[in-house]
Amino acid sequence: MSATNHQRLEILARYADLKDRRLALTLSQEDRDEEDDRDPLERITCRTHRRWLHQCVSSPLHVIVVTGHRWCRSCSLALSVAIDELAGDVTFSCPGCGRAAPTRATRQLIRACRASLAAAHDDGLVYPGLSTPEPRAAS
């Protein structure tokens, strides 16, 4: 069942204090999508930390032992995270064995973090309710 307009406004108001309006809008959209049965593990934002996923994926709260998200089953350790925002690179590694098994969960997190990086740094899109980006000077 889809959220009513009143519920949608409440969700958007939940993030009204965030300075990053693109983040606030994306958080709101993903909250609505979750209510419409979207997989919460496909988010590029974090409802708990109110940040882009790549900014908080290293938090212990993002380790999910059961599904293998940020978890090395061989060593029973949380995977370490390295995010290179300039290169757009996302790496997970186990502090025990030094590797991260190429599991579905790890691939899913890498995809979500890369999408999060792209969305956070994309200044060329126009979002409803946001000002239009300044035109770039021709070179």
Inter-CA distances, 56 with 35, 51, 126, Å: 22, 7, 25
Q: What is the pLDDT of residue 121?
A: 87
pLDDT by residue (tens digit) across 24-50? 999 999 999 999 999 999 999 999 999
User: Coil, helix or strand for 83?
Assistant: strand
Residue 65, judged by CB atoms within 10 A of its CB (0-12, 13-18, 19+), counts as: exposed
Average pLDDT score over the chain = 86
pLDDT by residue (tens digit) across 117-126? 999 988 655 4
Q: What is the pLDDT of residue 76?
A: 96
The dihedrals phi and psi of 79, each to the nearest 5 degrees, come to -75, 145
pLDDT by residue (tens digit) across 99-132? 988 899 999 999 999 999 999 988 655 444 444 4
Q: What is the pLDDT of residue 129?
A: 46
Kindly indicate the confidence band of residue 14, based on its pLDDT and cuts at 50, 70 and 90: confident
CA dihedral 27, 66, 69, 58 (to 10 degrees): 80
* pLDDT (mean) for 53-71: 96
Please give the model's pTM, rounded to 2 decimal places: 0.79
User: Coil, helix or strand for 27?
Assistant: helix
| Pairing mode, strands 51-52 and 71-72 | unpaired
Amino acid letter, 70: R
Contact between 131 and 123 (Cβ < 8 Å): no
CA dihedral 32, 35, 39, 41 (to 10 degrees): 60
